Structure 1
């Protein structure tokens, strides 16, 4: 269910009165955001009086309007788990910028689904397929001192300082079980939602089955870690968003996934600077700096495996979107558009496994 702005305001004001503040709360300037569109995200300004002084704060609500619907092969965490993951990261002794979590609300009558509230952070999420954003990120890499690339490495390294004990809402599995279960879910997802049989994808699946890496440790993994899921403000990462794919898994997954060509703006044609991961950091520099800051050694084969797997999972998102539109499960035109990301991702996966092809 999608509520109109007036309806949302009318529900939020009485809900927040007595929760956010003891007095009546007024909600204004409500804005819907396109980022994180698998769940509805909106920001708004709250105003109330405290001891005769007017106070104001901008908040963000993240809503799951489809809660309770059957979601075959939906590998997102429940929205409450997403909130609890953010809260664990916020409360941990690591420098990872996340919005301050307020509370989770299970009552679906307020906003049409369970939701959580967090503080608003300044900044915008770059879209690497937009040439203007992409060129701005290129400039960040070329800038003296490379402040944004350095912070990007720090953010990823700091996320991986946390483990299952730090984020108890996430299941901790045996490292090899993480690999097996993750691949099996994606393989079944592809088989169930593909609209055509693609021999190249079957070859890629066979390669993924035959080349599972040995995983020596597990940490907190963001699961969808890329520059587009971060807010940038004044040449700095002001927030890491969209924790719905988080898991306790192989930290190399995040390193590999964030450096996919796709997330640097590639669809089919290569980008202007294909060596830059996320359009913002030289890929080899990124790997070297991650090693220096974490003490971990990046195994090229393990990294390659997760780059192939990350592209496979992203391709599945595209195929799944096209499937939902084709079957009438979704009328969102963005689901139909997702089919266009598939050829470039297949191309990238074949390039990565080229040395092993017969």
Structure 2
């Protein structure tokens, strides 16, 4: 198991980065959130023509994570996003040498705010009130999507570019492969969905960066304002409609609670969300493509949850939270079946 990050290791590393004789690190905290990364925050003080203090966040590769994703690519796309108005933390360094702290890592600025949990009553109430009062939070949510999708393939030359004709095939190859490798039991609804995905792809005429996990729970909110969009580990070049479909999943609006909301991520009316996105980007929101990618995102979520359960079952992880991941799957299957029925009945 990877050893915890220490202040001594950070101080030694930062001395080299800052080019100063000493760096003092304090208030080092390991955060429990996240499934595929270790996350720490700390405060550093150093001499830069006078005493300078800043709080940073360090993200490192984690053993037994739910997904195997590219840490360097995550950092580089966040770095590229500095050229947009997306609310992304300021980037500093990516370190590939695992000997520094025990695993590759990157460092970004700490940003104030809390990530809302749509299954927590108080957070749900805050988000729904933001929609009722139009306090700027719903607008900021859509603005963030538009800014992510302002990044073209030319802005991220390090990313795989499958071309518009190869996007669906790439997604299917990746996620069907993962599903089949971690499938704990046969699920006819998923098998039928995979067949439908292959036979009914949407038309795609543009590739942009997609965040891949675009939801209000991956954003920090401070005083009613979105201050950061986090967790870029699933970012890739794809159909911008993917993020709209993904964020529209009922599951992400808190479906598991007693009274599910129709609001996207509990913060925005669905049609308003799509209309505002069209106004900001000049793109037409293809409702069929959004629903296709919503169904596909449900399949992705099921696959991710099964991966966590399977890894715990195989003894590849001792994170007991992964046992819980089985419980949302029936509700996700219900949502997937509803979309499939709608399209089969109207075909």
Superposition TM-score, scaled by structure 2 size: 0.95
Unaligned runs of 5+ in 1: none
Residue 340 (structure 2) aligns with: 353
- 1:337 and 1:319 mapped to 2: Cα distance? 10
Q: Is the 8 A contact 1:82 1:243 kept in 2?
A: yes
What do the CA deviations read for 1:271-327 (whole angstroms, capped 9, x no partner)?
44x221111111111011111211111122111100000010001011111111111
Q: Deviations over 1:240-288 (max 9, x none)?
A: 1111111111000001101111111113x5644x221111111111011
How is 1:39-118 mapped onto 2 (pairs within 5 angstroms)?
39-51=37-49, 53-66=50-63, 74=67, 76=69, 78-90=70-82, 92=83, 94-118=84-108
1:9 Cα deviation from its structure 2 partner:
0.9
Following superposition of structure 1 onto structure 2, how do residues 194-273 of structure 1 map, counting pairs within 5 Å? 194-267=183-256, 271-272=259-260
Tell me, in whole angstroms, the C-alpha distance in 2 between the residues paired with 1:41 and 1:253: 27
TM-aligned CA deviation for residue 75 of structure 1 = 5.8
Over aligned residues, Cα RMSD in angstroms? 1.8
TM-score normalised to structure 1 length = 0.92
8 Å contact from structure 1 (residues 126, 231) kept in 2: yes
Question: 1 CA distance for matches of 2:143 and 2:152?
Answer: 17
Per-residue deviation, 1:176: 2.2
3-state secondary structure, aligned to 1:202: helix
Q: Secondary structure at the residue paired with 1:339?
A: coil
CA contact (8 A) 2:153 2:237 kept: yes
* Counterpart position of 2:162: 173
Task: Give yes or no for the alignment of 1:191 onto 2:177.
Answer: no
Instruction: State the partner residue of 2:310.
Output: 323
Deviation at 1:127, TM superposition (A): 1.2
Pick closer, same or farther for the CA change 1:2–1:136 going to 2, 3 Å.
farther
Partner in structure 2 of residue 25 of structure 1 = 23
Give the length in aligned residue pairs. 345
Kindly state the Cα deviation for residue 355 of structure 1 after the two structures are TM-superposed.
2.1
Structure 2 unmatched ranges of 5 or more? none
Question: 1:276 and 2:266 equivalent?
Answer: no
Offset, 1:214: 1.4
**Mapped partners of 2:186, 2:294: distance in 1:** 22
Counterpart position of 1:126: 116
Residues 1:160 and 1:278: Cα distance change in structure 2 (over 3 Å): same
Q: CA separation in 2, counterparts of 1:253 and 1:209?
A: 16
SS in 2 for 1:281: coil
Structure 1 moving runs of 4+ over 4 Å = none
CA distance in 2, matches of 1:99, 1:301: 33
Structure 1 position 338 matched with structure 2 position 325: yes
SS of structure 2 residue aligned to 1:40: strand
**1-structure distance, mates of 2:46, 2:29:** 19
